[in-house]
């Protein structure tokens, strides 16, 4: 793979995984990344996820142990210090009263240019979510979606096992959102999204399936049917979906090169190292690493 002329990280957070904004900048510089999309994660009481406590900002824990997640205020403070290095994203909790108006206020008052990260225990096609997505479409804000399925089959019996850390519901709920909001760009992300690259996803007990990709993955139909569906390649889920079957990865990246985004979600080089092993043409490398991101959102100045 030829080296990209520019790198944009289209899925990143700040003040988590034991690094502050200065640590994040040092990481971007170390890996030659021009700038990043900085995304919020607004945790309500109903969305508390103690499993993530190790990664969150200790200064924001309340006396009762609850945490607001990655709030917009932290993102804006980071952007004020490094204005040329970040595009700020924000997504209000769909349970908040007047959530679409809050999104619009953040757009007008604080210059957010991405609706994300959407990561809530509400189905994508809930009317409250659709109202946010429709407002994002009106404002030309791409929506970064986190999908983790609520059920996985038991490895021995095949019976469904509830997954308490579910977000968004299922790919069926995602498709209904795509249909209801055709003017909104949705960027798929996370294990529940990427496991659907393979046709045998329903039989896999792991959120991170391994082995060759089987034909008939639902992602193909979603991408082919809905031009408003994009995806970022971030975190272990995106990289695993590709590295489990390198020959398939080359074909998938080539087929959907116009709608895929280089992204990391935390501090790692695993995706970049894997992509370097693929014989991708220079034109596709440039699209994935930065051109597609800048088609959606202008670079910070």
Dist CA 122 CA 115 (whole Å):
16
Q: What is d(CA 264, CA 233) in angstroms, rounded to the nearest whole number? A: 7
Torsion, Cα of 71, 264, 221, 140 (10° steps): 50
In a domain, 1, yes or no: no
Give the span between the Cα atoms of 49 and 198, in whole angstroms: 28
Cβ count near 114 (within 10 Å): 26
The reported pLDDT for the residue numbered 47 is 87
Domains in the chain: how many in total? 1
How long, in residues, is the chain? 301
User: Is residue 121 in some structural domain?
Assistant: yes
What does the pLDDT profile of the chain (301 residues) look like in tens digits?
Answer: 899 999 999 999 999 999 999 999 999 999 999 999 999 999 988 889 899 999 999 999 999 999 999 999 999 999 999 999 999 999 999 999 999 999 999 999 999 999 999 999 999 999 999 999 999 999 999 999 999 999 999 999 999 999 999 999 999 999 999 999 999 999 999 999 999 999 999 999 999 999 999 999 999 999 999 999 999 999 999 999 999 999 999 999 999 999 999 999 999 899 999 999 999 999 999 999 999 999 999 999 8
Domain contains 301 = no
On the CB side of 159, how many CA atoms lie within 13 Å of its CA? 1
Q: Is this structure's pTM higher than 0.75?
A: yes
SS3 state at 195: helix
Q: What does DSSP assign to residue 300?
A: P
The confidence score (pLDDT) of residue 1 equals 85
Residue 113 covered by a domain: yes
Is 68 among the domain residues? yes
- Structural domain harbouring 187: 8-296
According to the model, what pLDDT value does residue 46 have?
Answer: 84
Q: What CATH number is given to the structural domain containing 185? A: 3.20.20.140
* Tokens read off for 213: 């990709």
Predicted local confidence at residue 64, as pLDDT: 94
Residue 62 included in any domain: yes
Cα torsion at 298, 105, 39, 193 (round to 10°)?
-90
Task: Return the pLDDT at 45.
Answer: 86
Asked if residue 185 belongs to a domain, the reply is: yes
Q: Residue 85 corresponds to which tokens in the numbers above?
A: 């290095």
Residue 3 lies in a domain: no
Tokens for 109?
């008052």
- Closest by CA position to 269, among listed 2, 1, 83, 9: 9
Distance, CA of 195 to CA of 278 (rounded, Å)? 21
CA distance 235 to 58: 22
């Amino acid at each position: 793979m030829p080296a990209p002329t520019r790198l944009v990280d289209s899925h990143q957070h700040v003040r988590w995984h034991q690094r502050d904004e200065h640590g994040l900048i040092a990481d971007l510089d170390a890996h030659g990344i021009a700038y990043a999309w900085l995304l919020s994660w607004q945790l309500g009481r109903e969305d508390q996820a103690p499993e993530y406590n190790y990664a969150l900002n200790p200064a924001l824990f309340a006396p009762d142990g609850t945490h607001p997640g990655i709030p917009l205020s932290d993102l804006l403070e980071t952007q004020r210090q490094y204005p040329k290095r970040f595009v700020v994203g924000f997504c209000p909790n769909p349970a908040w009263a007047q959530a679409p108006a809050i999104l619009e206020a953040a757009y007008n008052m604080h210059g957010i240019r991405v609706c994300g990260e959407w990561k809530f225990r509400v189905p994508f096609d809930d009317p409250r979510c659709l109202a946010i997505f429709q407002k994002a479409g009106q404002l030309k804000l791409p929506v970064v979606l986190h999908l983790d399925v609520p059920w996985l089959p038991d490895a021995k019996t095949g019976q469904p096992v509830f997954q308490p850390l579910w977000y968004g519901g299922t790919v069926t709920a995602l498709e209904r959102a795509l249909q209801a909001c055709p003017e909104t760009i949705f960027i798929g992300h996370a294990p529940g999204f990427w496991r659907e690259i393979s046709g045998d996803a329903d039989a896999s007990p792991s959120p991170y399936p391994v082995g060759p990709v089987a034909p008939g993955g639902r992602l193909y139909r979603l991408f082919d049917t809905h031009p408003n569906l994009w995806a970022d390649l971030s975190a272990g889920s995106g990289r695993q979906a590709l590295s489990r079957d390198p020959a398939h990865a080359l074909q998938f990246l080539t087929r959907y090169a116009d709608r895929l985004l280089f992204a990391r979600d935390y501090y790692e080089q695993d995706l970049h190292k894997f992509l370097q092993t693929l014989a991708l043409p220079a034109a596709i490398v440039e699209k994935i690493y930065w051109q597609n991101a800048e088609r959606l959102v202008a670079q910070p100045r």
